[in-house]
Structure 1
């Protein structure tokens, strides 16, 4: 059995093999908690990405639960995505149509149709 050491490399007689296992368990629990928190937050919002629906016409669909602003959060995300898409070609967004809905389980949804000018 190796001699227990502290992080500085010095011998630490108070640290046992069980102490190392406790630290490992706490570390793994912390990692699992962080991962599940990120998964929960990312499941609260999504978007379809921008896709072309006509000549210089694009659409993006977004969804956000109430934790992320519901309908207002979904519209913000849709406008951000549209602005980013148009900015990549040095143009600005022109909003053509916006369809907004809200449901208890799915949160706010927005279908945004736009052009870049």
Structure 2
């Protein structure tokens, strides 16, 4: 019964399809609200392409939108998920991701996380 599909991750070498509901996305995110209900709403005949996000991060964001939790968050996907949440204006998910990383960061992961931060759209 979904009414929108997303093709996510082309820049990461694998595209994954996600189905969702415009109404639910719109009430949770001003970006999705503008995308679906603004003056130039996104056409949804085909899947909306989101090439610049890893599929796992997008899946985590959808999980958060639908369930208010992120079960699959880990140190490898927390920063990409945070970047995804920032892109779609989900400040509570950004905070959850940041808290997750802060509690679990270790010396050997600092460079990996710093590199991930450099590839995102967030401003330090």
The TM-score normalised by the length of structure 2 is 0.25
Bigger strand share: 1
Larger radius of gyration: 1
